[in-house]
Amino acid sequence: MKNKNKLICIIPGLEKNSYSKKGDLVEWGGTTLLEWKLSQVFKVENLQEIYITTPSSKIKSLAASLGVKTIMRSKGQSLNALYKFIGKKFKNKNILWLNPTSPFLSEKDIKKFIIKYNKVSNHNDSAFTCIQLNEFLFDKKKSLNFNSLKGAISRKKLPNLYQSTNGAYIVSSKTMEEVGSLYGKKPFKHKVTWLQSLEVKSSYELENFKFFMSKYIKQNF
CB 35 within 8 A of CB 67: no
pLDDT value of position 5: 54
Query: Is 99 part of a structural domain of the chain?
Result: yes
pLDDT by residue, tens only, the chain of 221 residues: 444 558 999 999 999 988 889 999 999 999 999 999 999 999 999 899 999 999 999 999 999 999 999 999 998 899 999 999 999 999 999 999 999 999 999 999 999 999 999 999 999 999 999 999 888 888 888 888 888 777 778 888 888 899 999 999 999 999 999 999 999 999 999 999 999 999 999 988 988 898 888 788 778 86
pLDDT value of position 191: 97
Domain that holds residue 51: 7-220
CB 43 within 8 A of CB 62: no
For the chain, the domain total comes to 1
Query: Is 1 part of a structural domain of the chain?
Result: no
Query: Is 26 part of a structural domain of the chain?
Result: yes
Count CB atoms within 10 A of the CB of residue 23.
21
pLDDT value of position 1: 43
CATH number assigned to the domain comprising residue 78? 3.90.550.10
Query: Is 145 part of a structural domain of the chain?
Result: yes
Query: Is 47 part of a structural domain of the chain?
Result: yes
pTM of the model: 0.90
Q: What is the spatial distance between Cα 141 and Cα 174, in angstroms, rounded to a whole number?
A: 38
Please give the backbone phi and psi of residue 22, each rounded to the nearest 5 degrees, phi first: -95, 0
pLDDT value of position 163: 95
Query: Is 2 part of a structural domain of the chain?
Result: no
β-partners of residue 18 are: none
Beta strands in the chain (DSSP E): 7-12, 27-28, 31-32, 47-54, 69-72, 94-98, 126-133, 161-172, 187-191
Task: Give the helix ranges, DSSP H, for 52-209.
Answer: 57-65, 79-89, 107-120, 173-179, 194-197, 203-209
pLDDT value of position 221: 66
